[in-house]
Structure 1
Amino acid sequence: MNAYYYLAIAICAEVIATVSLKAVKGLSTPQPLLLVIAGYGVAFWMLTLVMRTVPVGVAYAVWSGLGIVMVSIAALVLYGQKLDIPAMLGMALIVIGVLVIQLFSKTAGH
């Protein structure tokens, strides 16, 4: 399987785990805690597979950059947490940075 499929799985698992953290409520709710543990477990497992072929810096840039944006979208949908214009602009710059790496960098391992 292509490393970028593993990376997509890692990102989605990390987003699920991170968004579930809010629902854990200081470890008082076990179901979301299971999502957190499983989500981060899958995320890091997939990330180790990605790093077999994709440089660490590139893998982490894509993973964290897209994760930030996806967590923000999920927080808006699930918790009604809205971002202001500076936050959205900052995230747009992160996405642009990830696109530059993927489209133009020879380091990206295509």
Structure 2
Amino acid sequence: MKRYLYLSVSIVTEIIATMFLKLSEGFTVLAPSIIVVIGYGLAFYSLGKTLAYLPLSLAYAIWSGVGTAITAILGVLIFEDPLSIGVVFGIILIIGRVVLLNTSSKTKAEN
């Protein structure tokens, strides 16, 4: 259970940091810039803790895939990023890759 708790914290803090990265306007706005640094710090710390329980390939695929998919969706919803069939198809492929890796990988706890 710890493995997915750490991974979830890592994903959520990475998404928050990325959203504030946009708001920091190239690190020229102080408050969002501070949130970016703290968010990415927590994201990498939590990802590191995740690696004690999950294989690197699985943890990184989930972290980057879910983070990318949710960030893309939030970019469309919050920042009015353009939405195209390519973006939708890309998000579907990312989610499919994460599901495939998650169902086909064995973790240390399962061995």
Q: List aligned pairs for 1:16-31, cutoff 5 A.
A: 16-31=16-31
Q: TM-score, normalised by structure 1?
A: 0.91
Cα distance, 1:5 vs. partner? Answer: 0.9
The answer for the alignment partner of 2:6 in structure 1 is 6
Q: List aligned pairs for 1:80-95, cutoff 5 A.
A: 80-95=80-95
The answer for the alignment partner of 1:58 in structure 2 is 58
Cα distance, 1:50 vs. partner? Answer: 0.2
Identity of aligned residues (%): 35
| Separation (CA, whole Å) in 2 of partners of 1:108 and 1:11 | 21
The answer for the alignment partner of 1:106 in structure 2 is 106
Moved more, 100-109 or 85-94: 100-109
Residue segments in structure 1 that go unaligned for 5+ positions in a row: none
Q: Runs of 4 or more off by more than 3 Å in structure 1? A: 107-110
Q: TM-score, normalised by structure 2?
A: 0.90
| Separation (CA, whole Å) in 2 of partners of 1:107 and 1:93 | 23
**Equivalent residues of 1:19, 1:71 under 8 A apart:** yes
Moved more, 58-67 or 22-31: 22-31
| Separation (CA, whole Å) in 1 of partners of 2:105 and 2:37 | 34
Residue segments in structure 2 that go unaligned for 5+ positions in a row: none
Secondary structure class of the residue paired with 1:12: helix
Moved more, 79-88 or 8-17: 79-88
Aligned length: 110
